[in-house]
Amino acid sequence: MPALVVAGNWKMNTTISDAVALAAGIRDGAASAQGVDDVELVLCPPFVCLAAVRQAVEGSAVKVGAQNMHFQDSGAFTGEVSPGMLQGLCDYVILGHSERRQLFGENDEAVNSKIKAAQAAGLKPILCVGESLAHREAGSASDIISGQVRAGLEGVSDCSGLIVAYEPIWAIGTGQAATPETAAEIMGGAIFETLRNLFSAGADDISLLYGGSVNGGNAGEFAAQDCVHGALVGGASLQAEQFLQVAVAVAAAKD
């Protein structure tokens, strides 16, 4: 089975001191939370909090990730952060989140360049894919998702360390999570089949996360699906206790 992973996307929340307090709460709570030893916890704070969060979790098993990254090494890209700048600050990087795609015009081509640049820099990409409500209602969710996976990973030959998160746009921040069956249909279907086509047996080791209104109450139902290996958590990752409840539920479902 692929590694179990619960990642928290803090989005544009937390000052540096908020971030340190949250990271410390998760670090301390994780030490005694049931089964959480078996789950890779990844905290993804804003860029400006990465160094402080890294320091706060040092010596623990808790990992750090960035929420985005440019694909160029350096240059005239005002406001951007390069892969090399993240080296040593984090192990993971979320790429292609739907908010990046929708609000900042990020397309599949850019996501693909970012995945390659992250891997070249030794960062583990968390590739996010997800369909809109309009696409779901039109019956094209599977086609959209396989297209995003294929385009995002075009020319990528090494899938070690790669994570794919299925985050239906209509479920993000709405309190309306997908049903576990809907998630499993896409994750075990469009996503896994596309990964199999791209990476053959290597696909069997890729962790697939569900994201979209995940909390401690529903995480276990998602993780009970064979093709779900954890969660990408937004709102519920901003409270240490709630985030750890998700991890406990994932661990229990896979026990």
Q: Which of 70, 97, 135, 229 is catalytic?
A: 97
Give 199 or 225: the residue with its C-beta nearer to ligand PEP: 225
Task: Give the x/- contact pattern for ligand PEP in 130-169, rule: CB under 6 A.
Answer: -------------------------------------x--
Catalytic status, residue 167: yes
| Residue 45 sits in the site that holds ligand PEP (CB under 6 A) | no
211 is a contact residue toward ligand PEP (CB under 6 A): yes
In the list 88, 122, 173, 217, the residue contacting ligand PEP (rule: CB under 6 A) is 173
Supply the DSSP string of the chain, one letter for each residue.
-PPEEEEEE--S---HHHHHHHHHHHHHHHHHSTTGGGEEEEEE--GGGHHHHHHHHTTSS-EEEES---SSSSSS-TT---HHHHBTTBSEEEES-HHHHHHS---HHHHHHHHHHHHHTTPEEEEEE---HHHHHTT-HHHHHHHHHHHHTTT----TT-EEEE--GGGTTSS-PPPHHHHHHIIIIIIHHHHHHHHGGGGGG-EEEEESS--TTTHHHHHTSTT--EEEESGGGGSHHHHHHHHHHHHHHH-
Binding letters toward ligand PEP, positions 222-241, x by CB under 6 A: ----------xxxxx-----
Stretch that binds ligand PEP, among 70-78, 81-89, 104-112, 209-217 (CB under 6 A): 209-217
Annotated catalytic residues are 97, 167
Interface with ligand PEP (CB under 6 A):
9, 167, 172-173, 211-214, 232-236
